[in-house]
A and B are shown apart, each in its own frame.
Chain A
Amino acid sequence: MIRALLQPHRLGLLALALALVVWAGMTLRWDWIPRYWELGLAGLWRTLWLLVLSTLIGFLLAVPLGLAQAAGPVWLAAPARWFCTVVRGTPLLLQIWLIYYGLGSLFPQYPWIRQSDLWPYLRQAWPYALLALSLSYAGYEGEVMRGAFKSVPHGQLEAARAYGFSRWSVLRRIWLPQAMARALPTLGGETVLQLKATPLVATITVIEIYSVASRVRQDTFIIYEPLLLLALVYMAIAGLIALGFRWLERRYATGLV
Chain B
Amino acid sequence: MPEWLTQLWPGLEASAALLALEPPGWGGNLLRGAASSLIIAFGAFSLGCVIGVGGALGKLGGGPVARDLLAVYTTVVRAVPELILILLLYYAGTDLLNQALRAFGYRPIEISGLAAGIGVLGIVQGAYATEVLRGAIQSVPRGQIEAARAYGMSRVQTFRRVTFPAMLPLALPGLSNLWLIATKDTALLAIVGFSELTLETRQAASSTRAYFTFFLASGAIYLLMTLISGKVFSWIEAHFRRGQAGARA
Contact = CB atoms under 8 A, between A and B. Distances in A.
Interface string A209-228: 01000000000000110011
Residues of B in contact with A, size category: 35 or more
Interface string A196-239: 11111001000000100000000000011001101100110011
Nearest to B69: A13
Contacts of B185: 91
A234 B215 contact: no
What is the interface of chain B mostly: helix, strand, loop, or mixed? helix
Interface in B194-234: 198, 201-202, 205-206, 209, 211-212, 215-216, 218-219, 222-223, 226-227
B84 A234 contact: yes
A107 B97 CA distance: 48
A98 B219 contact: yes
A200 to B, nearest CB: 7
A105 interface: yes
Interface in B17-35: none
Contacts of A106: 212
Contact of A228 (B88, B186, B223): B88
Contact of B65 (A13, A94, A228, A234): A13
B215 A101 contact: yes
Contacts, number: 113
A91 B80 contact: no
A234 B198 CA distance: 25
B191 A196 contact: no
A224 B91 contact: yes
Given A97-B211, A224-B88, 17 more contacts: A10-B64, A88-B180, A91-B186, A91-B188, A93-B188, A93-B198, A94-B222, A95-B219, A97-B205, A101-B205, A101-B215, A192-B78, A197-B81, A199-B83, A231-B80, A231-B85, A234-B84
Interface of B: 64-65, 68-69, 76, 78-85, 87-88, 91-92, 180, 184-188, 190-191, 198, 201-202, 205-206, 209, 211-212, 215-216, 218-219, 222-223, 226-227
7 smallest A-B Cβ distances: which pairs?
A91-B187, A89-B226, A98-B215, A238-B79, A196-B81, A91-B184, A101-B211
7 contacts: A13-B69, A89-B226, A91-B184, A91-B185, A101-B211, A224-B88, A230-B84
Interface of A: 7, 9-10, 12-13, 85-86, 88-95, 97-98, 101-102, 105-106, 192, 195-200, 203, 210, 223-224, 227-228, 230-231, 234-235, 238-239
